Amino acid sequence: MVLEKIKFVKDTCYVGLGVSPGIAIGEVFFLSRVREPGVSRTISADQVGEEIAHFQEAVALFKQQLVDAKGRITDKKMHQHLFIIDAHLLILEDKMFLNETVARIRDDLLNAEGAVKNTLRSFENLFDSIEDEYLRDRKADLESVGDRLVRNLRGETIRSVDEIGEKTILAAHDLSPADAMQIDRKKVFGLLTDRGGRTSHTAILARSMGIPAVFGLGNFTATIPNGMPVILDGTNGMVIINPSDGTFKEYLAKKQTLEYIESRLAQLRDLPAETQDGKRVSLRANIEFPAEVGSAFKHGGEGVGLYRTEMLFLGRNTLPDEEEQFRDLREVVEKMAPHPVTIRTLDIGGEKILANESYQRETNPAMGLRAVRFSLRETGIFKNQLRAILRASHYGRARVMFPMISSLVELRACRECLEEAKEELRLAGTLFDPQMPVGIMVETPAAVMIADLLAKEADFFSVGTNDLIQYCMAVDRGNQNVAYLYQPLHPAVLRMLAMIARSAAEAGIPCEICGEMAGDPLYAPVMLGLGFNELSMNAYSIPVVKRVIREFRYGDAEKLVAALINFTTAEECREHLENEVLKRFPDLSQASRI
Amino acid sequence: MVIRNRLGLHARAAAQLVKAANRFESEILIEKDGAAVDGKSIMSILMLAAQKGSIISVTTHGIDEKQAIAAIKELIGNGFGED
């Protein structure tokens, strides 16, 4: 049979889960394609002995492969992960697994492949009923063991990681942790898989090795030919096949900027974010998993300015209890100490976390029952979260903030719940920080207009620019027909930002920006000049923003803002800003901005 | 006994427990919520889904039962050397 060579359109884009950030450019190399399903076949009674022996050989071979893999791992840093290989070895030695498979061959007269498949499937079903997400995810380990076992039974030789050439983007249906550990980082620039999630062992490995990775790409490996040029963007979970010259250049520039930042990280990390004329700014990280604290430190973050708590609630059938939330929050607060961690209470709608008829999909969720509106209705869930936050506050410097506040009544109601939660903890004799600051997200135009009133009752402000711009301009960024109206430099937006900063300054409370604007170096002088001295962003943006701040004068930033405020359109503002900033930082061109 | 390490009896802890159990001749049973499983089988241990704070009981039976229970007690007691 002649296979027709499939032509790939330039810039074919795949979207998956970005599990390890960074950009990689190279040629794709397939370690394994679609999982071998394992074909069930009935055997005759006199074949049973032979089939059992065949199974035992495949197990022995696999054990040898794992022991060999262990021996090849020389990198000391990888040793802490060797337990994964041990766990796979123990599965292969597990009496329950071995006996059940042999029983299936003998009693059901199944071939070894079919018996392995059925045994593992019965275990996998049991795993699905486990509530704890981490423990449930260990199912992936079983799948990985089953896949290799079936290949061994078929006598397939598996391409080993040694065959890999230069500039490789390694692709596999599902990459086993054992394979991932043996990767030569000089050759392998990125990882792609059809399966796998953020908490899979291989994803954790990829992050700790600093290899960009996109997982969960569906049937990617079944469709792409070996050697295909590919761009991997692990930050945004994107894969571009057969890139055009333009795309290639764009990503090369992004990659070089990242590498430049990376190379200057060590120098910049310990230097303060201070302007030439001595104005000190605090740069913090926006994170959503405790595992990201390391990245915040590595990039020089002085704390976490936005800890999103939604992740713990999504993708599960039951709500996390106070204890689970506390463990998660405590880890972040404790690791980040003595730097502050700002914890935002739930910022989603009820339909995402409760299978309750009263929380059905809304026609206009952006303006619906979400954030504090939801929390104040489900005070049980809210107070659980508040108690977990309070308990975590004992282990470092925690701050709590309430999202989507649009009135003083809401802020007061939130504070009341917090006081009740404190009282409950006091009665139980549980420790917490009684002085924990209480802030609000300023992201509705209503909150901006009463910022002076809110500032009297909040301990700090944090401006969520993404939502504020959407609500201010009445524009849905996701709608391509109107997305052009999402203008951070629109005079309406600038005036709002100025108003928020002034109200905070008059009340003497700290004021932070934690939206995307904070991480864009072009806007750094604007936010500085407006008077925001705490910026929180994706960890990898911290060095670029820090560089601009360190090379700017606060006096110049103030003058720049004074000029911008006088322009009448967003277009004029943008032109003026680009001229002023690019004059000083010519390498900060559009293409190289992240 | 109470499981004290943060992630519960996850892959690393389960592997350590099973390795320790396999060093002994005795039969080792781990019980949680009325379900008792073989302490020498990693699959069984993982399937117990013992999160942090779970209460489990350990029974050993055989010629080295005392040493076995002491070893397992120590491992669980110090949270598998984590945290």
Distance CA A375, CA A309 (A): 13
Mean pLDDT of the region A108-125: 86
Q: Can you read off the two tokens belonging to residue A227? A: 């050697």
- Kindly name the residue from B5, B8, B10, B15 that is annotated as catalytic: B10
Q: What is the pLDDT of residue A266?
A: 64
> A327 in the Ramachandran plot: left (φ > 0), alpha (ψ -120 to 50) or beta?
alpha
Q: Does B32 touch chain A (CB under 8 A)?
A: no
- Residues in chain B within 8 Å Cβ distance of A91: 42-43
Interface of A with B (CB under 8 A): 83-84, 86-87, 90-91, 94-97, 123, 126-127, 130-132, 134-136, 138, 141, 201, 323, 327, 331
pLDDT mean across residues, chain A: 86
Q: What is the pLDDT of residue A183?
A: 79
Q: Can you read off the two tokens belonging to residue A564? A: 């911008």
Residue B33 is classified by DSSP as: T
Mean pLDDT of the region A293-300: 87
Q: Best mutation site among B9, B41, B48, B75 for testing chain A: the one with the most A CBs within 10 Å?
A: B41
Strand ranges, E, within A277-434: 282-287, 304-308, 340-344, 397-402
Mean pLDDT of the region A361-375: 87
| Confidence bin at A71 (pLDDT 50/70/90) | confident
Of all residues in chain B, the one with the smallest CA distance to A136 is: B49
> A242 in the Ramachandran plot: left (φ > 0), alpha (ψ -120 to 50) or beta?
left
Cα A361 from chain centre: 25
Q: How far is CA A528 from CA A7, A410, A545, A590, in A?
A: 50, 30, 11, 21
| C-beta separation of A180 from A196 below 8 A | no
| C-beta separation of A348 from A370 below 8 A | yes
Q: What is the pLDDT of residue A537?
A: 92
Residue whose C-alpha is closest to residue A393's, from A427, A434, A425, A354: A434
Distance CA A394, CA A430 (A): 9
Q: Can you read off the two tokens belonging to residue A543? A: 């060095």
Q: Does B83 touch chain A (CB under 8 A)?
A: no
Q: Can you read off the two tokens belonging to residue A296? A: 């915040």
Q: What is the pLDDT of residue A2?
A: 37
Mean pLDDT of the region A376-398: 96
- Kindly name the residue from A81, A88, A173, A201 that is annotated as catalytic: A201
Q: Does residue A15 have a pLDDT over 50? A: yes
Q: What is the pLDDT of residue A1?
A: 35
Indicate yes or no: CB of B15 within 8 angstroms of CB of A141: no
Q: What is the pLDDT of residue A520?
A: 86
Please indicate, yes or no, whether the overall pTM of this predicted structure exceeds 0.90.
Answer: no
Express as a percent the part of chain A with pLDDT over 70: 90
Q: Which carries the bigger pLDDT value, residue A64 or residue A128?
A: A64
- Residues in chain A within 8 Å Cβ distance of B79: none
Domain definitions of chain A by residue range: 2-28+163-195+205-259, 45-154, 267-590
Q: Does residue A554 have a pLDDT over 90? A: yes
- In this structure, of A61-75, A529-543, A555-569, the range with the lowest mean pLDDT score is A61-75
Q: Does residue A591 have a pLDDT over 80? A: no
| C-beta separation of A332 from A307 below 8 A | yes
- In this structure, of A7-11, A69-73, A326-330, A359-363, the range with the lowest mean pLDDT score is A7-11
Task: Write down the architecture of domain A267-590 according to CATH.
Answer: Alpha-Beta Barrel (3.20)
pLDDT, one tens digit per residue, over A242-272 is: 888 888 888 988 888 777 766 776 678 889 9
Task: Write down the architecture of domain A2-28+163-195+205-259 according to CATH.
Answer: 3-Layer(bba) Sandwich (3.50)
Q: What is the pLDDT of residue A140?
A: 73
| Confidence bin at A510 (pLDDT 50/70/90) | very high
Strand partners, A280: A274
- Residues in chain A within 8 Å Cβ distance of B27: none
- Residue position matching structure tokens 């005070």: A379
For residue A536, the surrounding DSSP H or E stretch is strand A534-537
pLDDT, one tens digit per residue, over A131-183 is: 666 666 677 777 778 878 888 888 776 666 666 777 889 888 878 777 787 77
Q: Does B18 touch chain A (CB under 8 A)?
A: yes
Q: Does residue A196 have a pLDDT over 90? A: no
How many other CB atoms are found less than 10 A from the CB of residue A244?
12
Q: Which carries the bigger pLDDT value, residue A589 or residue B3?
A: B3
Q: Does residue A102 have a pLDDT over 70? A: yes
| C-beta separation of A536 from A308 below 8 A | no
| Confidence bin at A507 (pLDDT 50/70/90) | very high
Q: Which carries the bigger pLDDT value, residue A30 or residue A126?
A: A30
Distance CA A127, CA A122 (A): 9
CATH superfamily of A45-154: PtsI, HPr-binding domain (1.10.274.10)
Q: Best mutation site among B43, B48, B55, B75 for testing chain A: the one with the most A CBs within 10 Å?
A: B43
| Confidence bin at A6 (pLDDT 50/70/90) | very low
Mean pLDDT of the region A393-406: 97
Indicate yes or no: CB of A94 within 8 angstroms of CB of B19: no
| C-beta separation of A282 from A534 below 8 A | yes
pLDDT under 50: residue ranges of chain B:
none
